[in-house]
Amino acid sequence: MEKWWAISVGRGESVRGQSLILEYALPLNVSYAQATKIDLLNKEKVRISEAELIFHPYFFAEYTFKAQFKDPTKKLRKFEDSDTLFVDALDGKVLNPMPEMGLGILKAIQTITSSSARAENARTQKLLMELGSKDPLPNYEVQIEENYRVNKLKPAISLKQASESVLDFIIQKNTSEIAYTPKSQEDEWLTQSHVTFVPKRSDIRILRKDVVIIPRWSIEFESSERTYRREILACSGAVLEDTMLYCPKHFRIGSISFSQKRSIAVCEVCGESLCEGHVKRCAICNKWLCEEDRFDCEVCKNSFCKEHQHLECPICRGQICYSCAKTCPICNASYSPNHSVTCDKCKRSLCPSCVIASGLIRKNRICKNCG
């Protein structure tokens, strides 16, 4: 949405290597070097393909709401609410979550199992925490470096339109269904036992409203065939997204991961970011390799690049390195030493096909030369 608005509509102010004056924004506490830091053992295999510092505008409004309402039995009901609401200045949506009234079991399960919903909720919560816990600074200057682009987005809606969104949200939030007990048996048949209370706009007071700008780093990395994305709130350092941070090969149902392990390196063939259980170093050239781009010797358990010479055991079809391969002195076949058989007479180690076993209770193993 931001890129579409800034590029297609032309409402963004993009600069590089200059200074930028911000009217009322959260301070820039996370530097470019901090935002692009890579904590991998082979970080030199990852490059920054794009870096952007985005200044995204939000409106905020502090409000109080007080109202009284008489139900059909003339009982007086009192309502009161106060909060600070934040509105995205690009699309006019209120960030604050609407309280769930009577959340059904099916909806609750869908909310839990929807990875996109969980990710969006987590992102929104971090934005709200950033907006609610940090103090904006008026009129301060930011120096822009040459190695990244800056986009200062302008609001797509007016403060008046944001106020309308806030009022609609407050009314929806405080609309409630009131249960009451009819006074007589006759009333019970003629009158409903529930009535809906809808707040009036005149009962809502907006105490303060203004615009605040959040700085956010948007970084893209590349490693071989892979592209990774990282988003960091540039005031607090809270991470909104980092697709390179965790290994993707852990227990999942659909798109939901039930365990997370930090990645330690990228595969130097395909570029996938993996944890210590899924990436190994080649014993010859020290390249980091994923399971698909390496072979593991079944004897020494070392890992190797596929381009290095290795053998396939003719007995089990397992892969073995040349250092571990054994040659049969009779047929000259190369095979895994895990399958070696010792001749009872000459005591030589041989492949199973060159040894004849006899006897039912006590097996005798005699090689073809000794037999």
Q: Is residue 285 located within the same domain as residue 356? A: no
Which of 60, 43, 62, 87 has its CA nearest to residue 221? 43
Q: Based on the structure, what is the number of domains in the chain?
A: 3
Shared domain for 231 and 360, answered yes or no, is no
The average confidence (pLDDT) of the chain is: 84
Is the residue at 135 inside a domain?
yes
**In sequence order, what are the residues at sequence separation of 6 or more whose Cβ sits closer than 8 angstroms to the Cβ of residue 355?**
341, 343, 365, 366, 367, 368
Left (φ > 0), alpha (ψ -120 to 50) or beta: where does 237 sit?
Answer: left
Residues whose CB falls within 8 Å of the CB of residue 68, separated by 6 or more in sequence, listed in order: 76, 77, 78, 79
Q: What is the pLDDT of residue 45?
A: 96
Contact between 21 and 141 under an 8 Å Cβ cutoff? The reply is yes
67 and 44 in a single domain? The answer is yes
Last residue of a domain, which of 280, 308, 336? 308
**pLDDT tens profile 184-242:** 655 545 556 788 899 999 999 999 988 899 999 999 999 998 999 999 999 999 999 99
Render pLDDT for 23-62 as a digit per residue (tens, 0 to 9). 888 999 999 999 999 999 999 999 999 999 999 999 999 9
- Do residues 341 and 266 share a domain? no
**Which of 285, 308, 331 is the endpoint of a domain?**
308
- What is the pTM (predicted TM-score) of this model? 0.78
Do 172 and 69 lie in one domain? The reply is yes
Q: Tell me the mean pLDDT in the region 133-156.
A: 84
In this prediction, residue 15 carries a pLDDT of: 57
- pLDDT tens-digit map of 236-287: 999 999 999 999 887 554 444 556 899 999 999 999 999 999 999 999 999 9
What's the whole-number mean pLDDT along residues 153-176? 92
Mean pLDDT of 320-348: 89
Residues 357 and 236 in one domain: no
> Residue 295 is part of which domain span?
252-308
**Is position 247 within any domain?**
no
Residue 313 located in a structural domain? no
Confidence of residue 7 (pLDDT cuts 50, 70, 90): very low
